[in-house]
Structure 1
Amino acid sequence: MGTGAPHWARTLVGVGLALAVVAVAALIGVRALTERYDSSVARGQLLDDDARRDRTDPDGPLNYLLVGSDRFRGADDADQRSDTILIVHLPAGLRQAYLVSVPRDLLVAIPPAPNGYRGGQDKINAAYDLGGGGAGGARLLSATLHRLTGLEFDGAAVVDFTGLRRVIDLLGGVRMCVDTEVRSVHTGTVFAPGCRQMDGAAALDYVRQRYDLPDGDYDRQRHQQQLLRAMLDRAGQTNLLGDPLRLDSLIRAVGDSLTVDTNGVPLEDLVLALRALPADGLVGVRVPSSPQLIGQVSYVVLDDGGNALFAAVRAARMAPWAAANPRWVNRL
């Protein structure tokens, strides 16, 4: 395996979709497994050229962009706003991952796009739609984040939540702990405080809620980060080797859920690398910001603390930043 090989995989770990495949890689044989996995994962150019990093230090800190959307492949809907935006930062050594949740209502300057969009100020989750959804939407979103943060990315992935629901079900559900009662605005389900096993539909319903929660969208971001941790924990507990039919179904479900931009890293190397990051190595981070009403529209506005966060990511100094800013760090 080359020196630049084992890095994109950490992003898939952060998403929590591919660890179940890795759990049996050593026993089944990496090449046989990746041949099955490779054919089921869609590829795309998800990063804008200015937002893509030309790797010079393959063992150094890495940044990935993860986008969660209710629709991606084959979507015709005019409204394809990204429901989840995560910057995943991996310090050198690749034994930890900081999951930086970008507020969906963050007010940003969105640059012009090749599809004719002329650029302007809007909520950041509009960038995916304004870029045309799909790969074009992801590229405009990456360009927007690059302009906002100064970050360049080593890869990207778009996750279709519909496929993610099946992945969770094939894992046998996930254990989620509800700290504040919330009623789903989508299904009417009431999630009472306490820990319980949730199937895919319930887990995704729960982590989409933000109304009537003490910290609104910040709580939603924390719940989504907790879901990623729960999926990693569950994947590590599941004996897929003894159930090849379930394994094949899981691989297909993962493929149906993901479109990736690996930045040239071979998939076989990625699968080998997925074993490096433990589930307890995930750290949830909120972007320092505050809600504001501007022209009768509710936005989230970045403050100086947010700028300091992105500076810490650029300088690969997230550990001291997190120690100095516990208010913005989530326990997962």
Structure 2
Amino acid sequence: MTRRRWVLGLAALVAVLVVAAGAVVVTRLVSHPAPAPVAGSATPTPSAGPPTPASPTPPPGADLKGPLNLLLIGVDTRVSVPGWEPHADSVLVLHVPAGLDRAYLFSLPRDLVVDIPKYAKSGYPGGRTKLTHAMSYGSRVPGDKLHPSTAQGYELLRNTVSRYTGLRIDAGAVITFTGFDKLVTALGGVDLYVDQRVASIHRRPDGHYRDRVGSTYVGPQMVYQKGNRHLNGWQALDYARQRYTAGGDYTRQRHQQQLIRALARKILDQELARDPDRVQQVVDRLGQTLVYIGGGRRLIDFAYALGGLPGDRFVLVGLPGDAVGSGGSYRGEQLEPVGRQFLAALRGGTADAFLKAHPTLRVKT
């Protein structure tokens, strides 16, 4: 498999929508190098001494040695509703240890009870609540209730995830539901194995949204039957959103990870790296449906640095958890001890050994 193809596949795993933008830069650098001088087109300039060999230009991201941590946020946002604050519906982390020869992708529950730090930009005083709220609390712009800031929301969520996991977050992306739908549609759909019957709360079989009576959805619903399936854009998004299934939100996390990997395979199969015009079409369709935050780094830096990562060294990890309550009321979720121990193993560089001792944490694809 060529390096250019793995640049795309890796970028898809890191941030599903950012892959397209990165691919445009990568393919154009590879496909359109600077032209060489034409022989005889210029008169050599006399030199007083032997020519000095030119220093080779290091590739983008050559100084990135790892460990690296990248954050992917799926946002529940209603752009048509003025003042609607974005909520983190999906929180995924890609950890690449030092040496950049393997990677681990895991999810954190949206309802994980965490300590959200104080955030002066939005006026949030800090508190202990569900992880999903960090995005909305951070997005608030004092004096402007109609235009929340996605970048601010990401910053507070990033700080919260970093504090909880003990991992420094190097870059990330915030993806809207619309952007995810557009990406899958632009790629012609995605093939994956549906591992259990999933009935949609939100959609009818024809793709239209179901009617609501108060807070209850009513009417026919789309059902995803177990087996190998081809999903179009709205189906892939709808399938990945469902958490009222056997296993609840932890099953949804697994489905999201499986879908991300299926998208990476789709990108590789289409060999987008060899077709810059096709990639540009994908980018154009995405528009403003994603925000990339690189901490001063370009996407191409990460893409090149991680471009040689072997495909069989991507590990999907499911962190088990259970409910947290007080007086019989539900407050949220907490990771089980084995999940917190895995995070400690990541920090200590012993994740491979830990997963060998706890093989049930590996997500099957």
Q: Give the TM-score, by structure 2 length.
A: 0.73
Partner residue in 2 for 1:194 = 227
| Alpha-carbon distance in 2 for matches of 1:195, 1:130 | 40
- The answer to whether the 8 Å contact 2:95/2:104 transfers is yes
1:148 aligns with 2:181: no
Cα separation, partners in 2 of 1:246 and 1:203, compared to 1, 3 Å: same
- The answer to whether the 8 Å contact 2:200/2:242 transfers is yes
| Alpha-carbon distance in 1 for matches of 2:169, 2:330 | 31
| 1:264 alignment partner AA | G
| Alpha-carbon distance in 1 for matches of 2:134, 2:189 | 32
| Alpha-carbon distance in 1 for matches of 2:268, 2:150 | 31
Partner residue in 2 for 1:300 = 333
Partner residue in 2 for 1:204 = 237
Cα separation, partners in 2 of 1:87 and 1:28, compared to 1, 3 Å: closer
Once the two structures are TM-superposed, the CA of residue 269 in structure 1 deviates from its matched residue by 3.7
Alignment of 1:78-157 (within 5 A): 78-114=84-120, 115-132=122-139, 134-157=150-173
| Alpha-carbon distance in 2 for matches of 1:158, 1:122 | 21
SS in 2 for 1:131: helix
**Unpaired segments of 5 or more residues in structure 1?**
1-6, 34-54
Partner residue in 2 for 1:223 = 255
1:250 aligns with 2:282: yes
Once the two structures are TM-superposed, the CA of residue 178 in structure 1 deviates from its matched residue by 1.1
| 1:281 alignment partner AA | R
| 1:185 alignment partner AA | I
Once the two structures are TM-superposed, the CA of residue 281 in structure 1 deviates from its matched residue by 3.4
Partner residue in 2 for 1:171 = 187
SS in 2 for 1:232: helix
- The answer to whether the 8 Å contact 1:73/1:134 transfers is no
Partner residue in 1 for 2:178 = 162
Once the two structures are TM-superposed, the CA of residue 19 in structure 1 deviates from its matched residue by 4.7
| Alpha-carbon distance in 2 for matches of 1:224, 1:174 | 13
| Alpha-carbon distance in 1 for matches of 2:311, 2:177 | 21
Deviations 1:218-249 (A, max 9, x none): 11000000111011100111154787654322
1:311 aligns with 2:318: no
- The answer to whether the 8 Å contact 1:156/1:260 transfers is yes
Alignment of 1:8-87 (within 5 A): 13-19=13-19, 28-30=28-30, 58-71=64-77, 76-87=82-93
Which residue of the other structure, out of 225, 232, 235, is the alignment partner of 2:267? 235
Partner residue in 1 for 2:142 = none
| 2:359 alignment partner AA | P
Cα separation, partners in 2 of 1:96 and 1:299, compared to 1, 3 Å: same
Which segment is superposed worse, 231-240 or 122-131? 231-240
| 2:183 alignment partner AA | V
Deviations 1:4-49 (A, max 9, x none): xxx9x9565422335566778776444869xxxxxxxxxxxxxxxx
| Alpha-carbon distance in 1 for matches of 2:133, 2:92 | 15
| Alpha-carbon distance in 2 for matches of 1:196, 1:243 | 26
SS in 2 for 1:283: strand
| 1:117 alignment partner AA | Y
| Alpha-carbon distance in 2 for matches of 1:200, 1:286 | 25
| Alpha-carbon distance in 2 for matches of 1:151, 1:243 | 36
| Alpha-carbon distance in 2 for matches of 1:234, 1:105 | 31
Identity value in percent: 37
| 1:291 alignment partner AA | A
| 1:178 alignment partner AA | V
| 1:60 alignment partner AA | G
Q: Give the TM-score, by structure 1 length.
A: 0.80
| Alpha-carbon distance in 1 for matches of 2:164, 2:270 | 40
**Unpaired segments of 5 or more residues in structure 2?**
1-6, 34-60, 140-148, 204-220
Once the two structures are TM-superposed, the CA of residue 322 in structure 1 deviates from its matched residue by 1.4
Structure with bigger gyration radius: 2
Cα separation, partners in 2 of 1:82 and 1:241, compared to 1, 3 Å: closer
Cα separation, partners in 2 of 1:250 and 1:123, compared to 1, 3 Å: same
**Residue-pair matches, total:** 305
